[in-house]
């Protein structure tokens, strides 16, 4: 029979997974829903399936890192401590949503566990140092890869990927045979079908990457405490994510779908591929990664690369990049001499300046909050686990 305390732990873990599903489904499938490629229920179903695949495969490596390797003595993960850690993760999600900035659940989970480890003198500083190093390196890699893409390859990618949806349904169901078969509608073009397929595949890739990293945030403390085995814990987290994807994620899907003009389809795909690839790599080596932070720096890098095409790097650093983006020199050869659509612009002939591509003030606010929220969780967890008598310290 499940004890009352374990039941509370399962409920809190499910609450964290529920919020993860609500906050990550929009970024993963918002472009697909906004392009009328799939419906919201279909997006939620794909999110649930591929999150589970990511969590079941690479995700358990991150669970081991957070639940067993980050602390030198896993016995400190009592049920009370596990519930406390999960509480701080859930609180971080709430605070981030209140400020309109999605908090990094991975960074917050590591912070809360680190606070527990310091309070009990059981933190493995070497493991924490490795995690922190990758947290610094991965966003920088995402920034520079996206910058290079934006500076040299964005125009070519845009011509390949960009699409306009025709009126009517994308697919029809052929019921002439024994088994109904979906086929492209008569009005559907090959370019449209390719673009729609691309955004759906990218959404599945993002859902998979989210599962590899975020499943640990909901269950690592319970697994580390031995109160719950790995496989049932993963199933619990993924089921909770699915509930969140089918319920509260509908609003984030609407937001991401309606706001897609602020980040065109081509830019959204570039950011998603770069960010998801880095997250999957980090999860494969057991490092909990923040998709939000990496994606933010990828967006900035892509915008910076697009904005500085006609100027040299030293001029860009000195802030002399307010020249409207045009294509010239080597870039003109790669783009075929055509003008390139700017990020946030629908018409290729309407070319933005550097200031139009990303707002430094908004970027600074997002980056600051994404670091402040995990810090609050770390300090709060340390003070709680160190001085609150109910935790036995």
At residue 250, the pLDDT reads 79
CA-angle at 81, arms to 76 and 83, nearest 5°: 145
d(CA 88, CA 81): 11
d(CA 369, CA 247): 26
Q: Let me know how many helices (H) and strands (E) the chain has, helices first.
A: 16, 2
At residue 295, the pLDDT reads 81
For the stretch 373-387, pLDDT in tens is: 788 888 888 988 888
Residue closest to 83 by CA, chosen among 3, 12, 7, 2 = 12
Token duo for residue 176: 């002439």
Strand-pairing partners, residue 71, are 123
Residue closest to 264 by CA, chosen among 187, 197, 344 = 344
| Inter-residue contact 103 to 93 (CB < 8 Å) | yes
- Over the chain (393 residues), the average pLDDT of each successive run of 10 is 82 89 82 78 94 95 92 86 85 67 77 91 93 93 94 85 64 75 70 80 92 92 89 96 89 58 71 91 91 81 80 52 36 39 42 48 64 82 81 51
At residue 390, the pLDDT reads 61
Segments forming the whole domain that contains residue 64 = 4-391
DSSP character string of 106-154: HHHHHHHHHHHHHHTT-B-HHHHHHHHHHHHHHHHHHHHHHHHIIIIIH
Phi, psi of 187 (to 5 degrees): -85, -5
CA-angle at 372, arms to 298 and 390, nearest 5°: 130
Residue closest to 96 by CA, chosen among 374, 381, 382, 378 = 374
Strands 181-184 and 171-174: antiparallel
Residue closest to 287 by CA, chosen among 89, 139, 132, 143 = 132
- Number of structural domains found in the chain: 1
Q: Which residues of 69-108 are buried (b: 16+ CB within 10 A; e: fewer)?
A: bbbeeeebbbbbbbbbbbbbbbbbbebbeeeebbbbbbbb
For the stretch 116-166, pLDDT in tens is: 999 989 999 999 999 999 999 999 999 999 999 998 998 888 887 766 656
At residue 173, the pLDDT reads 73
Token duo for residue 382: 């340390």
Phi, psi of 182 (to 5 degrees): -75, 135
pTM, full prediction: 0.78
């Amino acid at each position: 029979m499940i004890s009352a305390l374990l039941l509370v732990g399962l409920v809190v873990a499910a609450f964290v997974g529920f919020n993860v599903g609500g906050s990550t489904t929009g970024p993963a499938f918002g472009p697909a829903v906004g392009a009328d490629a799939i419906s919201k229920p279909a997006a939620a179903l794909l999110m649930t399936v591929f999150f589970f695949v990511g969590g079941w495969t690479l995700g358990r490596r991150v669970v081991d890192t957070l639940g067993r390797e980050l602390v030198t003595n896993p016995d400190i993960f009592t049920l009370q401590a596990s519930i406390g850690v999960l509480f701080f993760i859930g609180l971080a999600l709430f605070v981030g949503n209140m400020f309109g900035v999605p908090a990094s659940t991975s960074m917050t989970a590591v912070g809360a566990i680190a606070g527990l480890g310091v309070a009990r003198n059981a933190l493995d500083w070497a493991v924490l140092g490795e995690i922190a190093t990758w947290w610094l390196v991965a966003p920088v890699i995402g920034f520079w890869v996206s910058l290079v893409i934006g500076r040299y390859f964005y125009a070519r990618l845009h011509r390949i990927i960009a699409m306009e949806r025709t009126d009517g349904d994308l697919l029809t169901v052929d019921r002439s045979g024994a088994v109904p078969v979906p086929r492209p509608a008569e009005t559907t073009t090959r370019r449209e079908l390719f673009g729609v397929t691309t955004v759906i595949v990218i959404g599945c890739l993002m859902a998979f990457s989210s599962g590899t990293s975020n499943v640990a945030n909901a269950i690592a403390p319970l697994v580390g405490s031995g109160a719950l085995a790995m496989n049932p814990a993963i199933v619990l987290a993924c089921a909770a994510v699915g509930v969140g994807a089918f319920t509260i994620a509908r609003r984030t899907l609407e937001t991401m779908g309606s706001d897609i003009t602020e980040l065109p389809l081509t830019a959204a795909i570039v950011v998603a591929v770069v960010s998801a690839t880095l997250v999957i790599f980090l999860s494969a080596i057991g490092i909990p990664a923040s998709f939000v932070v990496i994606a933010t720096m990828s967006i900035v890098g892509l915008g910076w690369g697009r904005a500085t095409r006609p100027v040299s790097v030293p001029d860009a650093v000195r802030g002399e990049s307010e020249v409207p983006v045009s294509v010239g020199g080597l870039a003109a050869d790669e783009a075929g001499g055509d003008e390139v659509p700017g990020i946030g612009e629908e018409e290729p002939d309407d070319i933005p300046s550097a200031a139009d591509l990303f707002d430094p003030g908004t970027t600074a606010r997002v980056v600051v909050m994404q670091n402040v929220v995990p810090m609050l969780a770390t300090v709060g967890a340390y003070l709680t686990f160190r001085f609150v008598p109910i935790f036995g310290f």
